[in-house]
Structure 1
Amino acid sequence: MKSKVAIVTGASSGIGEATAELLTSAGYTVYGTSRNVGKSSRYPFKIITLDVNSEESIQAALKAVIDKEGRIDLVVNNAGFGVAAGGAEESSMSQIQQIFDTNFFGVVRVIKAVVPYMRKQGKGRIINIGSVLGLIPAPYMAAYAATKHAVEGYSESLDHELRTRGIRVSVIEPAYTKTNFEANAPELDSKIEEYAIARKSLSKILKLAVEGGDDPKMVAKVVLKAAEAKHPKVRYAAGKLACRLSLLRRFAPAAMMDKGIRQEMKLDILEKIAG
C-alpha cells in the first residue's frame, strides 16, 4: 500500500517541524510548507513553498502534491504568528487584520482548497493547531486569543458538515510550548504609555512560561494520535497544563476561573502599580 500523504503548514520550525518529522517517521509521505523555503536540506521530509495568505500559492502547492502523489490524506494547519503582549488597543486595526489573515483566514483558505480533493477521495483528515487560548481569556493577548477562538468554532462546525463525507476535523490545543513563537512575535504598533508597566511585566511572565513549556514533540504526538484515531475527537488538549485548563474551563465555576487567571497573570497587582 502507498503511504498516506500529509501536508503540514508552517513546517520550517517549532510545532510544524516536529509534526512533519513525526509523521514522516510514522510512515507518511510528508510535504512541509513554508513561505520561504530557501535551500536547506536538513529536513527529513519534502519542503515546498506555500503562503497561507495567498490563494494562488495554496492552490499551486496542493496541485503539485496531487500531481505527484494523486491524493492528500491529511492536512495539518499550523502556520501562524502572535504579537508581543500588550493592551488590546495598542494594536492598530491593520495589525489585528494581519494576525487574523494568517491565523484564521489562512486556515480557512487551506481548508477550502483541500476539501474538494478530499470529497472526491471520500475521506481525509484536517487537523488545526489551536491553543488553550481558544478556550480561555488571554488578557493582553486579546487579538491572538480571538483568532484561536475563531479556529475552535470553525473547526467544530466544519467537522459536523464534513463527517458524512468521510472527512474529520480536529483541533489541537497546546499550552505554552518551547518554540521561538514568542521571541519572533512583532511588537505592538500603537503603544500607549499607560500600558508600559503591564507590557514589561507580562513579557517576563510569558518568557518564563515558554521556557518552562512543553516540547513541540509532545504536541506532535497528539497530532499523530488525532490523525490515526479510528473515531477522532474534535478537540485534543496537548500537555498537562492544557488538559488542566481545559477541564477547569468546562467544570469550574466562572468566578473561580476568573480569579485564577487574574492571579496567574498578576493583573490586580499590575493595576495597582499602574494606578
Structure 2
Amino acid sequence: MAEPHGKIALVTGASSGIGEATAERLAKAGYKVYGTSRRGAEAGKRSFEMLSLDVTSDESVDAAVNEVIRRSGRIDLLVNNAGVGVAPAGAEESSLDQARSIFETNFFGLVRMTRAVVPHMRRQGHGRIINIGSVLGFLPMPYGALYAATKHAVEGYSESLDHELRMWGIRVSVIEPAYTKTPFDANFIEPDAKLDEYRDVRAGVSKRVNEVMATAEPPGVVADTVLAAADAARPKIRYTAGRLAGRLRLLRRFAPAGLVDAGIRKDLRLDAGRVAADGRARAF
C-alpha cells in the first residue's frame, strides 16, 4: 500500500557522507526515505531505512527498487549518489580494466538505477531524478582524468534525459559540489599501473588535494541543495552546491579559457617542476 503521507525517496550510497546527509535532510523535510549501501542495514540510529544495493548489479538494483515499490507503492524521488573516488594519478596509471570499473560505478550505476526507476515514475505521471555530479563535470582535473570523465558523462546524460522525460512529468537535475568534507577520500581507489615517471607530481597533487579538503564544506551543504532541487516547482538542470562550486561555475562561464587553464595549473602547482631528460619531474 502507498504511504498515506509524504513523498517516497530512494537515495543510493547513503551509509555516509553526502548520501547519508541527503537522506537525513529529506527525512527531516517529510520524505519517506530509503537509503542504500552495498552492506545494507547497519548499526546506528537513522531517520531512514537502509536497503542493500550494489549499483553495479542488475539483479541487486531491480531487487531494491522492487522492494521500495512493494513497501510504499511508488518512488517520487531518486537521488543517484553512489560512487567511487580515485586517488590522484596520471591517466595512464590506470589500466583499461580499472577505467571500466570506475565508469561501472560512477556512470553506469547511475544509468542502471535510472532505467529501473523511470518506468514506475512514468506510470505515476511524475518524478524527480537528482544526480550527484561535481564541478569536475564542467572543469578538467589533471591527475584525476578518469573521475572527471565520469562526471562529464553524468552531466551530458542528465541534461539529455531531462528533455526526454519532461512529457511524463519527470525532471532531472545535477548537483555540482566542489570539495566536500566526507570519508569519501579515505576509500580512494589507487591506480593499478603506477609509473615512476609520475611519482613526484602525483605526490604533489595529493598534498594539494589534502590541503583543500581540510577546509572543505560539510556534506550538509550538498544535502540542502538536493532538497531545494527536489522541492522546486520549476527545477533547474544544474545546481552548484557551496561557495567554491558557485565561484568555479562563474569562472568557467565567463573567464577567458587561458585564465581558467592557468588557474588550474597554479592551484595544483603543476608548473612547480619540469620533466627532465630521464622523464622524472624536477623542481625548477
Query: Same fold judged by TM-score > 0.5?
Result: yes
User: Is it true that 1:274 corresponds to 2:277 in the alignment?
Assistant: no
Q: Which runs of 5+ in 1 are unaligned?
A: none
Matched residue type, 1:36: R
Aligned-pair distance for 1:42?
2.2
In 2: Cα distance, 1:139 partner to 1:131 partner: 15
Matched residue type, 1:141: G
User: Is it true that 1:77 corresponds to 2:80 in the alignment?
Assistant: yes
**Normalising to structure 2: TM-score of the pair?**
0.95
Aligned 8 A contact 2:41 2:49 in 1 = no
Q: After the TM superposition, which residues 1-275 of structure 1 pair with which residues of structure 2 at under 5 Å, given as runs?
A: 2-271=5-274, 274-275=281-282
In 1: Cα distance, 2:147 partner to 2:137 partner: 9
Figure out how many residues of one structure are paired with residues of the other and give that number.
275
4+ aligned runs moved over 2 Å, structure 1: 270-273
Aligned-pair distance for 1:271?
3.0
Once the two structures are superposed, residues 44-83 of structure 1 have per-residue CA deviations (whole angstroms, 9 ceiling, x without a partner) of 2100011100111111111111111111000000000111
Aligned-pair distance for 1:39?
3.8
Aligned-pair distance for 1:38?
4.7
Aligned-pair distance for 1:122?
0.1
Matched residue type, 1:2: H
CA RMSD of aligned residues (A): 1.1
Aligned-pair distance for 1:199?
1.2
Instruction: Point out the more displaced range, 210-219 or 113-122.
Output: 210-219
Once the two structures are superposed, residues 106-147 of structure 1 have per-residue CA deviations (whole angstroms, 9 ceiling, x without a partner) of 000000000000000000000000000010010000000000
Matched residue type, 2:54: D
Aligned 8 A contact 1:197 1:270 in 2 = no
- Residues 213 and 39 of structure 1: CA distance in aligned 2, closer, same or farther (over 3 Å): closer
In 1: Cα distance, 2:42 partner to 2:14 partner: 15
Q: Classify the secondary structure of the residue corresponding to 1:10.
A: coil
Once the two structures are superposed, residues 140-161 of structure 1 have per-residue CA deviations (whole angstroms, 9 ceiling, x without a partner) of 0000000000000000000000
- Residues 170 and 36 of structure 1: CA distance in aligned 2, closer, same or farther (over 3 Å): same
Instruction: Point out the more displaced range, 31-40 or 44-53.
Output: 31-40
Aligned-pair distance for 1:251?
1.2
Aligned 8 A contact 1:182 1:207 in 2 = no
Aligned 8 A contact 1:12 1:34 in 2 = yes
Matched residue type, 2:251: L
Instruction: Point out the more displaced range, 120-129 or 184-193.
Output: 184-193
In 2: Cα distance, 1:11 partner to 1:97 partner: 23
Q: Classify the secondary structure of the residue corresponding to 2:187.
A: coil
